[in-house]
Structure formats: structure tokens, C-alpha cells
Amino acid sequence: MTTFKDVSLLLARILLGVILIAHGWQKFNEWTLAGTAEAFGGMGVPAPGLTSAIAAVIELVGGIFLLIGAATPWVAVVIALQMLAAYLFAHIGNGVFISNGGFELVGAIAAASLALAAVGAGRFSVDHLLASRRARD
């Protein structure tokens, strides 16, 4: 990979990771899991107490994993699937723009996640470090 590609992947992972960490932290800290569950219930999400906790953990821990580039393809696919669920339960039929409850944020997160799942974390990542060590052994 070229340095430009690796730096681009690093920046994409950092930006996406920070966004996901902020949203996960918000569910735990600002809204609380009880408040998030109430909101999920209002949207018709099944088992809102459980699914709100799962969403918060995926966002917070998944964001950390993306930030450091660990298990990137797997984590990115899980995040993309969560964004699909968010689209289906909260944003479908609301158009594109977030100001109208649209899917632009979940769509962008899903697209970035799928891109990282397809190409990997790049050279500046835990994934690359572990692969390099395995190759030497």
C-alpha cells in the first residue's frame, strides 16, 4: 500500500471511530441505557432494553476497535449491520437528510464501515502489527 492510502485509512478510522465512540458514550452517559431503551421502544425496536445496550456497546467498543485498527473487517461489518437496523427501525421513509430524520448519518457510517471491511485497516493499525508478527513466526 502507498503511504497516502495508509494515512487515508488511518484518518478514516480515526474519524469514524470518534463518531461511533461519541454515539456509544451518549447512549451510556447522556441518554442512559434506560432512556435509550425508551426511545428504541418508541421506534418499535424489539427488546428495547437489550437492543439499546447492544447498540451502545457496538458503537463504543466498535469505535475503539476501529480507532486502533483491531479486528477491522469483522467490527466494520457488525457496525454496518447495526446501521442497517437503525435505518430499518428509525430512518426508513424519512428521506436522506438527518434534519428530517433521514438516513444520511447511518448511511455514511455504513458506507465507511463497509469500505474498511473491504480494504482493511491499513499499515498503521493493530491488525497490520499482528499480521506482521505472524508472518515473522
What are the tens digits of pLDDT across the range 44-82? 999 999 999 999 999 999 999 999 999 999 999 999 999
Average pLDDT, the chain: 97
∠ CA 40-45-49, nearest 5°, is 60
Read off the pTM: 0.95
pLDDT of 136: 86
* pLDDT tens profile 13-33: 999 999 999 999 999 999 999
Residue 1: pLDDT over 70: no
